[in-house]
Amino acid sequence: MAKDKEAAKKQVAPKTKFNKTYLKRYWQLYALLFLPLLYLLIFKYLPMRYIILAFKEYKLNTPLRDMPWANVRGKTDVLKYFKQAFGNIDFKRALWNTLKLNALDLIMGFPAPIIFALILNELCFKKFKKVVQTIAYMPHFLSWVIIASLCTQLLAPTDGLINALVTHLGGESIPFLDDPAHWVGTYVGAGVWQSFGWGSIIYLASIAGINTELYEAASVDGAGRFRKMWHITLPGIRPTIVVLLIMNLGYIMGGGFERPWAMRNNLVIEVADVIATYVYKVGIQGLKISLTTAVGLFQSVVGLIFLLAANAISRKLGERGIW
């Protein structure tokens, strides 16, 4: 993204007027942009007008402007649904779970691709390295429905491969999927499994950009494998690490729907319910439109603040921002 921007800056806009000759030449570009911009307008901007529902009482088959402001027994209170959400134990739990699962994902999932890239970088058999890479990219191409079913098959209490191994070695069967605390581990583990290989691509590219003379000079000075890793490779990829870390920190309030929805089961709802699944259940299945719009707005705004803050911090630290 940063490179993209630099390239854009390099080109200086020629000074021409917005007139007939300009349009005669440039109308084609506007024509090309028409469909994408129309798409963004309809599918990204138009939904924003429904955000007002967070402050109104939703009524079916009523135009948006005719819906009354949110009120408690006739007394207008536009923040009614935000108060309701924060008084709701299910929402508070979903909020806490979102933060908890995202934080755990970050702690476990962020270092994994870096470590994997460092390991791959030490391999001196090129063919073997390529095979390992291809295998490690595989989980990224599986859907969450499939990963969830792989987990059930592999981690089932009686006939799952892992528990068969555990009991064979004399241990107790581990309730990976049924016990809330263990389920969190399974959820995070599945996330790491799915993304570590794919995540390493960017670090490998970054490592490839490090000047090889540095390694040669270090070798001459008698530096071993790990000293080179610590003093050359890691500092070399530091900017990439910082930017990606900040991006990930910015998404701590986010979180998709498909992963938690595919992986949850009835025994672990207390730890598995996140904002995305809460909004789906209460909003789309339960039709509490105003309440869940408020929840969604809260999530979007806090998410945006996190992202802006993360970017500001990155700039303060002297690293390049995300944009």
Partner 1 sequence: MKVKSTQAKIGDWIFVLICVIISIICVVPMVNLAAKSLSGTEFLIRHEVYLWPKGFNLEAYQTVLSDAKYQRAFIWTAVLTLICTLLSLTMTALCAYPLIFPGLKGRGVINIFITITMFFNAGTIPNYLLMSDLNLLENPLVLIIPSCLSIYNMIIMRSFFYGIPDSLRESAEIDGASFIQILVKIYLPLSKPVFASLALFYAVGRWNGYGDALMYIKTNKQYYPLQLLLYNILNNTNAVEVAAQEGFNQPGLKDSLKCATVMFATVPILLIYPWLQRYFIAGVTMGAVKE
Should residue 246 be labelled a site residue for partner 1 when binding is judged by CB under 8 A?
A: no
- For partner 1, the binding residues in 61-120 under the rule CB under 8 A are 116, 119-120
Cα angle value 199/205/206 (rounded, 5°): 95
> Which of helix, strand or coil describes residue 75?
strand
Should residue 161 be labelled a site residue for partner 1 when binding is judged by CB under 8 A?
A: yes
User: In angstroms, what is the minimal distance from the CB of 147 to partner 1?
Assistant: 8
User: In angstroms, what is the minimal distance from the CB of 150 to partner 1?
Assistant: 4
Which one of residues 20, 35, 172, 221 is an interface residue with partner 1 (CB under 8 A)? 35
* Structure token pair of residue 229: 């890793």
Which position has the token pair 């494998």?
225
Should residue 221 be labelled a site residue for partner 1 when binding is judged by CB under 8 A?
A: no
Backbone angles phi, psi at 183, to 5 degrees: -60, -40
Q: Which amino acid is at 145?
A: V
User: In angstroms, what is the minimal distance from the CB of 105 to partner 1?
Assistant: 18
Should residue 39 be labelled a site residue for partner 1 when binding is judged by CB under 8 A?
A: yes
The stretch among 16-24, 77-85, 92-100, 176-184 that binds partner 1 (CB under 8 A) is 16-24
Which one of residues 79, 107, 145, 309 is an interface residue with partner 1 (CB under 8 A)? 145
How far apart are alpha carbons 103 and 274 in whole angstroms? 13
Cα angle value 34/39/42 (rounded, 5°): 120
User: In angstroms, what is the minimal distance from the CB of 48 to partner 1?
Assistant: 5
Number of residues that bind partner 1 (CB under 8 A): 107
Which one of residues 84, 88, 152, 195 is an interface residue with partner 1 (CB under 8 A)? 152
Cα 128 off chain centre by? 31
> Which of helix, strand or coil describes residue 63?
coil
User: In angstroms, what is the minimal distance from the CB of 74 to partner 1?
Assistant: 25
Should residue 181 be labelled a site residue for partner 1 when binding is judged by CB under 8 A?
A: no
- For partner 1, the binding residues in 263-292 under the rule CB under 8 A are 276, 279-280, 283-284, 289, 292
- CA separation (Å) from 108 to 26, 31, 135? 50, 46, 20
- CA separation (Å) from 232 to 114, 121, 129, 224? 14, 12, 21, 11
How far apart are alpha carbons 102 and 113 in whole angstroms? 17
- For partner 1, the binding residues in 299-318 under the rule CB under 8 A are 299-300, 304, 307
106 vs 173, beta carbon nearer partner 1: 173
> Which of helix, strand or coil describes residue 23?
helix
Q: Which residues contact 33 (CB under 8 A, 6 or more apart)?
A: none
> Which of helix, strand or coil describes residue 5?
helix
Should residue 169 be labelled a site residue for partner 1 when binding is judged by CB under 8 A?
A: no
User: In angstroms, what is the minimal distance from the CB of 315 to partner 1?
Assistant: 14
Which one of residues 99, 104, 106, 150 is an interface residue with partner 1 (CB under 8 A)? 150
Should residue 40 be labelled a site residue for partner 1 when binding is judged by CB under 8 A?
A: yes
